[in-house]
Chain A
Amino acid sequence: MNYVVAMKQVPDLQQLRIRDKKPVLTDIPLEFGKIDKNALECAVSLKEACGGEVIIAAVGSGELTETIKDGLACGADRATMIADDGVDALQSADVAVLLVRLIKELDDVGLIFFAEGSADNYSGQVGSRVAQLLGYPQVGFACDVRMEGDRAVVTRALEGSFEEVEVDLPAVVIVASDLNKPRLPTVIQILKAGKKPQEVTDLAAVGHEASELTVCVENLAPDTDRKKQELAGSTELLAVLKENGIIDK
């Protein structure tokens, strides 16, 4: 039984700058999101315990063939992807359709992993859309996953409680952030990553038409201008607290 991990390339938000209230994305390197790496780690550790293969399915820009190496170095066996700069303009619903195409080509898929949200948009809809399109059951916000025969036992972390559920396979599991510590690849693993099998196609080959189910009217940074006044020490800080009516002495 094989494990699929859907991973998304995102800009490193630490390097995001705002100019005239608009986000500037040029020259920011693309990487896999942190929670996507949690999802990959989850699949790799299940594979180590139960056998099978871990396959990354990804839909991203032309640079994806580079980004993918990081996932392959972190324990995936191979990758299947659509790498095309036209993907940047696609929305979640389209990405879900494209991922389903990639996944349908794979044999003996047991679990398909997603992150609870992508680092850039965090809308968290792609995993659920893929599950619906494939007609598979799903469990989201997973903080623990184990295999029991032909089923998976998954713990879902809700706001105020944990629930443990049993789900038939194949199934989609959408992991919560921080459910594990993703491994750091060794130098040898990094070197070997480039040689692992990658199946790459592009949008023209799959002939996908964008659906444009939503439109973005504007996307602007809020005003966060503050006075940034430096305080010399704790005494001055106490004075500010007093000025603000927080303490009275």
Chain B
Amino acid sequence: MENVLIYSANTGIARELLSAGRPLGEVWALALDEASAEELAACGVAVLRFDGRGVISADTAALAQVVALAVAHSDASLVLLGSDRRGKELTGRVAAALDAGCLTDVKSITQDGQTLLCTRLAFGGATISTESITSPVKVIAVSPTVFPRAEPQGQGVISSLTGAVDARVRLLSERAKDSDLVDLKSAEVIIAVGEGVRDEDFEPAQKLAQALGGVLACSKPPATDRGLLGEERVIGLSGVICKPQLALVIGVSGQVQFAVGIRDAKTIITINTNENADMVRMSDYFLVKDSGEAIAELCSELC
């Protein structure tokens, strides 16, 4: 059995990595602060608590040095990191430090004899690629929520890890993003709007979503270019991959990076003025109609 080192600045994700790592070997967790070390130890895993002052998660270079120290200390040949933004940024750096191959945004890990087969999306989400790492040390960044969080059980030992790390990034300030805490991942009904929906129709679309007991979501441009909805409502490759019972997709062309986030929906209904849109091709039902008119008609029946 090999030794597995897990690390995420987010302890929720670290606990998911613990679930991912346990079937693969003897797990060690790395923690940078006391609270995380205790939370992880309470899940029954051996914790390496790094107590070098001045290492902050914002300093990816310093963090990679700490991960490399922990790998040496635990004699790990597999490193599991989170594929949230911080974790993804860290992955390539850790891999280069360890002369290792790495995979990011990994959606599943299966053992095939001595080989670990990982799946990830490729070509913007058009395909699912199955890959394995051949180097002696392997670094895998696992997408959040793929594995369940390990629950508290037993008590792991916390030991301290020391070493010199040079810090070259200083944190000046932090501020929270305005977000309205929607949970697209577990929504049963999703109304997704895109560039084919005019600004003034977003409010009626929100009402329609409410009337259907669903959540309003969007393609990327309405959030990042037009700022009409928060980024947490973006569906797709760089947003959320959802699995609702029903998705009503309005004025979205269905480019791969969006499609990958909605293609697992049980039923897809599309409203689009272009009957040849890719979104139509991946729908159960489609209506060729102007988005504003369709939203108004549905609202007048339901809202």
Chain A positions near chain B (C-beta within 8 angstroms):
13-14, 16, 18, 23, 91-93, 96, 119-129, 131-133, 136-141, 153, 156-168, 171, 174, 177-178, 212-222, 224, 226-231, 233-234, 236-238, 240-241, 244, 246-247
Interchain CB contact under 8 A, B284 and A227:
yes
**CA of A223 to CA of B301 in the docked complex: distance in angstroms?**
35
| Cβ-based interface call for B61 (8 A) | yes
| Cβ-based interface call for B169 (8 A) | yes
Q: Which of B124, B171, B282 contacts A13 (CB 8 A)?
A: B124
List of 5 A-B pairs having minimum Cβ-Cβ separation, nearest first? A213-B101, A128-B92, A125-B92, A140-B89, A132-B96
What is the CB-to-nearest-CB distance from B245 to chain A, in angstroms, rounded to a whole number?
A: 7
Interchain CB contact under 8 A, A166 and B169:
yes
A126-B92, A139-B60, A234-B301 given; A220·B133 CB < 8 A: no
Closest residue of chain A to B133 (Cβ to Cβ) is A214
Interchain CB contact under 8 A, A140 and B255:
no
Query: Which of B32-40, B151-159, B197-205, B263-271 lies at the interface?
Result: B263-271
Interchain CB contact under 8 A, A124 and B92:
yes
Interchain CB contact under 8 A, A229 and B89:
no
Interchain CB contact under 8 A, A238 and B267:
no
Q: Which of A128, A177, A231 contacts B285 (CB 8 A)?
A: A231
Interchain CB contact under 8 A, B122 and A121:
yes
**CA of A102 to CA of B129 in the docked complex: distance in angstroms?**
30
Interchain CB contact under 8 A, B104 and A123:
yes
**CA of A218 to CA of B129 in the docked complex: distance in angstroms?**
6
A132-B96, A162-B177, A215-B131 given; A234·B126 CB < 8 A: no
**CA of A132 to CA of B100 in the docked complex: distance in angstroms?**
12
Interchain CB contact under 8 A, A244 and B104:
no
A214-B103, A231-B286 given; A221·B92 CB < 8 A: no
Can you list 26 A-B pairs with a CB-CB distance of less than 8 A? A13-B256, A93-B95, A121-B122, A123-B103, A124-B92, A125-B91, A126-B92, A129-B93, A131-B61, A132-B96, A137-B59, A139-B169, A156-B85, A160-B177, A165-B169, A165-B171, A177-B224, A214-B133, A216-B129, A219-B130, A221-B126, A224-B263, A227-B284, A230-B275, A237-B287, A238-B302
Q: Which residues of chain B in 73-105 are interfacial with respect to chain A, using CB atoms and an 8 Å cutoff?
A: 84-86, 88-93, 95-97, 100-105
Residues of A within 8 A of B117 (CB): 217
Closest residue of chain A to B263 (Cβ to Cβ) is A224
Residues of B within 8 A of A234 (CB): 287, 289, 294, 297-298, 301
Query: Apart from A158-B86, A217-B117, what 7 extra A-B contacts exist at CB < 8 Å?
Result: A18-B127, A122-B105, A125-B104, A141-B85, A158-B85, A231-B285, A240-B285
Interchain CB contact under 8 A, B131 and A247:
no
**CA of A214 to CA of B172 in the docked complex: distance in angstroms?**
38
Q: Which residues of chain B in 213-236 are interfacial with respect to chain A, using CB atoms and an 8 Å cutoff?
A: 213-214, 220, 224-225
**CA of A160 to CA of B133 in the docked complex: distance in angstroms?**
31
- B interface secondary structure, majority: mixed
What is the CB-to-nearest-CB distance from A242 to chain B, in angstroms, rounded to a whole number?
A: 11
**CA of A119 to CA of B50 in the docked complex: distance in angstroms?**
36
| Cβ-based interface call for B114 (8 A) | no
Q: Which of B58, B135, B271, B280 contacts A213 (CB 8 A)?
A: B135
What is the CB-to-nearest-CB distance from A8 to chain B, in angstroms, rounded to a whole number?
A: 14
Interchain CB contact under 8 A, A141 and B89:
yes
Q: Which of B90, B91, B245, B269 contacts A237 (CB 8 A)?
A: B269
Interchain CB contact under 8 A, A216 and B92:
no
What is the CB-to-nearest-CB distance from B66 to chain A, in angstroms, rounded to a whole number?
A: 13
**CA of A224 to CA of B97 in the docked complex: distance in angstroms?**
40
Closest residue of chain B to A141 (Cβ to Cβ) is B85
Q: Which of A91, A123, A213, A241 contacts B100 (CB 8 A)?
A: A213
Q: Which of A128, A136, A163, A174 contacts B91 (CB 8 A)?
A: A128
Residues of B within 8 A of A157 (CB): 85, 177
What is the CB-to-nearest-CB distance from A238 to chain B, in angstroms, rounded to a whole number?
A: 6
Residues of A within 8 A of B271 (CB): 237
What is the CB-to-nearest-CB distance from A66 to chain B, in angstroms, rounded to a whole number?
A: 22
Residues of B within 8 A of A231 (CB): 269, 285-287
What is the CB-to-nearest-CB distance from A227 to chain B, in angstroms, rounded to a whole number?
A: 5
**CA of A124 to CA of B134 in the docked complex: distance in angstroms?**
19
Residues of A within 8 A of B174 (CB): 161-164
Interchain CB contact under 8 A, B298 and A214:
no
Closest residue of chain A to B144 (Cβ to Cβ) is A159
Interchain CB contact under 8 A, A133 and B96:
yes
Residues of A within 8 A of B129 (CB): 216, 218-219
